[in-house]
Structure 1
Amino acid sequence: MEHVTSNDGTTLAYDKLGSGPAVILVCGGSVDRQSNAGLAEVLAPHFTVYNYDRRGRGDSGDNAEYAVAREIEDIAAMAAAAGGTAFLYGTSSGAALALHAAAALPTTITKLALWESPYIVEGSRPYPDPNTAQIFRDFVAQGQRGEAAEYFMTQVVGLPPEFAAFARTQPWWAQQEAIAHTLAYDAEVMGDYHFPTELAASITVPTLVLVGSATFPFLLATAEKMAAAIPGAAYQILPDQQHNVDPNVIGPALAAFFES
């Protein structure tokens, strides 16, 4: 594990694997860098992989004054640690953050890959409460971290209450509560969850939009629209993959894109 300091003084922890062109991995909501550990291993024979903990998670520090701009600065700091430029991969809400970063850092991020950013195309599913970030903050402020995690699962992701009840019985539930404060961060990244047409149209780097054929139906609609909205973007559907994608399936697709 290595560390880099972001612009506001926050320390970011990361694992560095492999050799070759730099690839930064951005995790999604309710997880830390361990969620991308398998993918990092798959990519390491081809690239130098920087798998970092987003602020507030795992071994990284945090700052009381959160802003999406600070997370973009975190990605810039990771790219600086990688030599100044890097390919960027984001998954779920981490893909939304990667989209923001690529728009803000067009000379730093040289290629962009997005896995199932959970924006919503009108009519494909209901939108979450527009005050989701504050709802998460209120739960955490009241010491109800478990309720925050459950709200994310049922009201944001759309999983059934039975799944949340089951999740509370699992060994990994403690980790969900530990990083529950970062759910507000991802809600800030996602904004109102409406499809970001102007942001997507502003991307100038080569981009690959990926989605699984067995994922939530609304994510297929979003991925198709994202690929059409980003100038020159490539679009790939991975057969039989759900939102929690198999690293051994997505890894070769990413390697082929980044090496092209």
Structure 2
Amino acid sequence: MPHVTSADGTTIGYDRLSSDGPALVLVGGGLDDGAENVPLGEWLADTFAVVNYRRRGRGDSGDTSPYAVERELEDLAAVIEVAGGRAHVFGASSGGALTLEAAAAGLPIDRIAVHEVPYLLGDEMLAGWRSYVDDLTAALNDGDRDQALRLFMRLAGSSDDDIAGAEAAPVWPALVALAPTLRYDAACLGDGPPPADRLAKVAQPVLLTTGATVDPHSAGLPFDFFGAAADTAANYLPDGHRLTIEVAGHIADPALLGPHLSRFYTGQEPRNASTVP
């Protein structure tokens, strides 16, 4: 697999899924080793030159200490350079928060689409977020990656039965290996709410997509958790566009999300999208 070297010397693994068309970089979310965006990238590969990468600490990418969000911005900048110097960007979940931070920082990004960025709203949710960050930090400092995963799943609305089922599943050890990166995703989300000051600096067109229903594995989240967060973020963006699509689950079906992204990245208004003034 090819690698690019970030500004601090960290090697970042990536795959070029196609070479023809406008450049498009895919940014993964929490507990993703780079695999989750592959089906979407393959769907978009007929139209775009797609590059999918593994964020630091995941898969074959390095993880130079100390961590800072700025280092992840440098990683993305290095991947964009490999992709051609400028690129459209898609960010999933917390990867969407990283993508918007990158645009606010002035990276050479064209159009941006983000799906279900988990910004938090309201006093109760924000208090829960602060408690999660403190408990996550303590668990990881103690080397208790299993507890870090449990904390994340509870924050994401999983029930005790869901967590027990995940612990018994074959995928649990792979998730345990990724647990230290939960701290990185938390850093990308900052204090929790959409960051009004930085989003105001994003001049590019931004499409914020959400599913019409909450993922069954996140039933503990408030109804329209992602939709309310996206609506608020869109109001802070100079050129924000909102789209709700009929998808089940936090990871959108490429056949449902892909056509809307393709239209948006080629300068067309996604069907049923609303533009936020």
Secondary structure of 1:117's counterpart equals: coil
The separation in 2 between residues aligned to 1:67 and 1:158, in whole angstroms, is 27
CA-to-partner distance for each residue in 1:214-233, whole Å, 9 max, x for gaps? 12521111111222221122
Using the TM superposition, give the Cα deviation of residue 56 of structure 1 relative to its aligned residue in structure 2, in angstroms: 0.3
Judged with a 3 Å threshold, the aligned counterparts in structure 2 of structure 1 residues 123 and 241 are, in CA distance, closer, same or farther, namely farther
The answer for unaligned runs of 5 or more in structure 1 is: none
Alignment of 1:67-82 (within 5 A): 67-82=68-83
Q: CA deviation at 1:41?
A: 0.7
* Structure 1 SS opposite 2:90: strand
Deviation string, structure 1 residues 71-96 (Cα, Å, up to 9, x no partner) = 01111001111121011110111110
Q: Does 1:258 align with 2:265?
A: yes
Partner residue, 1:209? 208
Contact 1:92 1:115 (C-alpha < 8 Å) held by counterparts: yes
Tell me the equivalent position of 1:50: 51
Partner of 2:140: 140
Note closer, same or farther for the CA distance 1:138–1:121 as it changes in structure 2 (3 Å cut). Answer: closer
1:1-260 correspondence to structure 2 within 5 Å: 1-18=1-18, 19-106=20-107, 108-122=108-122, 125=125, 127-130=127-130, 132-154=132-154, 156-215=155-214, 217-260=224-267
Report the alpha carbon displacement of residue 37 of structure 1 after superposing the two structures with TM. 1.0
How far apart are residue 160 of structure 1 and its match? 1.2
Distance 1:219 1:233, change over 3 A: same
Deviations 1:39-97 (A, max 9, x none): 11111111111110000001100112000000011110011111210111101111100
Deviation at 1:201, TM superposition (A): 1.6
Contact 2:247–2:253 at 8 Å: present in 1 too? no
Mapped to 1, the partners of 2:89 and 2:134 lie a distance apart of: 29
Question: 1:23–1:86: 8 Å Cα contact kept in structure 2?
Answer: yes
> 1:10 deviation in Å?
0.3
Superposition TM-score, scaled by structure 2 size: 0.88
Whether contact under 8 Å (2:43, 2:255) holds in the other structure is yes
Mapped contact 2:31–2:175 kept (Cα < 8 A): yes
When the two structures are aligned, how many residues end up with a matched partner?
258
Q: TM-score, normalised by structure 1?
A: 0.94
3-state SS of 1:235 partner: strand
Secondary structure of 1:111's aligned partner: strand
Give unpaired runs (5+ residues) of structure 2. 215-222, 268-277
Provide the secondary structure at the position in 2 that maps to 1:34: coil
Of all paired residues, the percent bearing the same amino acid is: 40
Q: Distance in 1 between matches of 2:265 and 2:123?
A: 33
Letter of the 2:71 partner, please give it. Answer: R
Distance 1:181 1:16 in 2: 26
Per-residue deviation, residues 144-176 of structure 1 (Å, max 9, x unmatched): 11111111101x212112111110011111111
The 1:69–1:126 alpha-carbon spacing in structure 2 relative to 1, beyond 3 Å, is closer
Could you tell me whether the CA contact under 8 Å between 1:133 and 1:183 is conserved in 2?
no
